[in-house]
Structure 1
Amino acid sequence: MALEEIKTLLVGNPIMAAPDIGEPMLLYISATNQVVSAVLVVERESEGHKFQVQKLVYYVSEVLTPCKSRYLHYQKIAYTVFMACQKLRHYFQECSIIVASEVPLNYIINNRDAIGRIAKWVIELLPFEITYKPRQAIKSQVLADYIAEWTEAELPREYSAYSHWTMYFDGSKMLAGLGAGVILISRTGDTVRYVLQIMYTDSNNAAEYEALLHDLRMATSMGIQRLEVRGDSNLEISQVNGEFDAKDPKMAAYRNAVLRISARFEGLEFHHVARDSNQAADVLARMGAKRDPVPKNTFLERLFKPSVVWQDDVTGAPSDEPAHNASPKNEQDDQVISGSALEETPSAHEVMALIAPWTEPLLAYLTQHQLPKDKTEAQRIVHGSKVYKVHEGEHYKKSTTGVLQRCISEEEGRKLLVEIHAGMGVHHATV
């Protein structure tokens, strides 16, 4: 009997149903990394079935652009409803739509605090009769998932080049001083540029190593797990890869410091590239050596002492050249491990903010009632401070519904954008 039913299903082709005017329809949605899909069905009585049977009305899908593929998952789900409304508008105009999903779309779309693209989609969906209910059974959800997964499987793997982060580094020694440049490229092609001004006298190889160490420290602080390092210095790359021996105590200390930090990554490779392929990092390194002003969207740091401590083979005494360094030394800096690097010393770095925090005038007024002498500027600060609040030492902006939104600096905002575009971390909507 079961075999006969299977034969009947195989022989008879499935036929799409034509909905009646005003007949309620269900919308099943699905989203993957690069594809969103939606399936529209109706539920009708069928002979031989105790419960109503879902019949397919139409299905649509869309391959996301690189920008849309970086949406958060719940944003992709909301966008799927908007996409289905745009492509199947005639069904949405004549019938009531019930969206069945595991995601709490009713709270997301009908949220009064919705801003940005979510708010735009909400406005577009307002004219239609759409209700959002939790999905109780799989049913036609299988078809929506199949369309999205099958479409994504058929796409060419054009984003494989960004499966890991890439870093270019270079050092420079000039008459004005030492400098280093670092360029960090995310999996999505976004770049972060750093200029390192080395404020003491040392060799060009040491500057190259300082650039390498600086980037590895920055990558670990950002939570990067897979990184490809590219540099035009054959000495540093070969020493780290074990192809060259590091006989000089200083170079051995730098190499061991790199190897120690390398253990924190899941995947890390060092590759030597031609100088022509490393021009961008070389420009930043020369900029740091000549103490030139850094361009916009480029971070600047100053290094006042070496990042490692080594032991001199001749005197047997510890060395962290040069001796005339005016920076204070910590007790931790006096510890020496022969031929190996200590942990990096955070006190050796001074981060230079390129732009002063925009919250300083507001904080000065809210906490100390200080205003600038310019009357126009003072009136602007007093008027704007009405929507800001200082709570437990943090600066917040009050939304129209009373939700406190934390204010951040421009530098912190850049770091958050890098993490978001890289697909790292969680949603930062409360920031």
Structure 2
Amino acid sequence: MKKNLLIAPIAIAISASVLLSGCDDKDNVKPEQQIGADPVLPAAKNFLLPPMQVPKGVGWKENQLPKVAEDLKIEKVADGFLHPRQLYTLPNGDVLVVEANGPGTEPVTSPKQLIAGLVQGKSGKSGKGGNRITLLRQNGEHQWEKHTFLEHLNSPFGVQLIGDTLYVANTDSIMKYHYQTGDTQITDPGKELADLPDRVNHHWTKSLLASPDGKLLYVGVGSNSNIAENGLDIEYRRAAVLEVDVATGASRIFASGLRNPTGLQWEPQTGKLWTIVNERDEIGANLVPDYLTSVEDGGFYGWPYSYFGQHIDQRVKAQRPDLVAKAIKPDYALSSHVAPLGLLFYSGSALPADYQGGAFISEHGSWNRSPLSGYQVTYVSFKQGKPVGVPKPVVTGFVSDDQKELHGAPVGLAVDKSGALLVADDVGNTVWRVSAK
């Protein structure tokens, strides 16, 4: 305990000089130059602590709404959630809202960890999580009713339905529950299908996706560090996409070197697996771009040794040139520190044509650069199974114009039975619905 008390003044003193220099981190690279297949990557800058700009979480005022593109409209589905993170639409049109945040509060053991905690608290991003799933159902008057669907979970994130079995990815395991169409509550304790790497210091979320035939589950597992500074032993089965056999619970590493794959989806035209990835920090406001990429079986994507292909991270000691040589360059950069947390390929027809056939991406937003980046839902067009062009802002207005106040932050995405886009907002504790005007 004394050690933690000593860290605080040290961290504050260090941050004063580091953050001031960090906010003047000029490298003549504009965020828009870091979007697409060939982003501009400036020289790395080493910071003991990253530069910060943290808007104050204030939530939404009565009748206040996010902004949407001119051919769309937005409405509130429901609010009052406890940190809604993911959304999942059941075959009958009911919508599951996964409410959670990281497990426990761990001892502060470094200045960097202290600053990260302060950041989360100030931005409102670590509000109390429900550790539950709430079900939303439209009644005959098109009002959304809330039902407590499943409780006593352990920092849940991903959810998938295969047949009559609902799979939930807690931070430490995949659980399975019997589900009957129309259920508004699950009361059975469930059974564990497979264990997952538990959280220690970083990245507790476990994204989840079923294979089209329902025989396999794919799990996105983030790293337990920024660049393996805590050693590689605790990174076992981390920074990877795992493949889990539904029949037996046996798992293998499907792809690796993905620092934090927070969303998994099948691209409808090619049938390939795609993910969004949160990349590393502390080497500059414009490094490293987060990205969207297809995922190859057995593929290695660089972490921690290199980024965006074979750009070596000089901070990582005991390098592995053999792995760097194999590192796959991501398909599409999203710009640095936008923190993508939601991915959805849209195959419906209810939204305007400009939003059909591509991917919606929710950018939860930066805390370690100035000016801010992210804090929006964008749409990336696809052509012949590949992303093209630049992202189109779809939902914005989560941050005040002066970037000092944070009303909301987008996370999970889903499509309701009418084809409208649903957005989970874990700062405003709201679910939003975006439809054609």
Please give the TM-score of this superposition, normalised by the length of structure 1: 0.21
Bigger helix share: 1
Bigger strand share: 2
Tell me: higher relative CO, structure 1 or 2? Use CA pairs within 8 A at least 6 residues apart: 2
Please give the TM-score of this superposition, normalised by the length of structure 2: 0.20
For the pair shown, the structure with the greater C-alpha radius of gyration is: 1
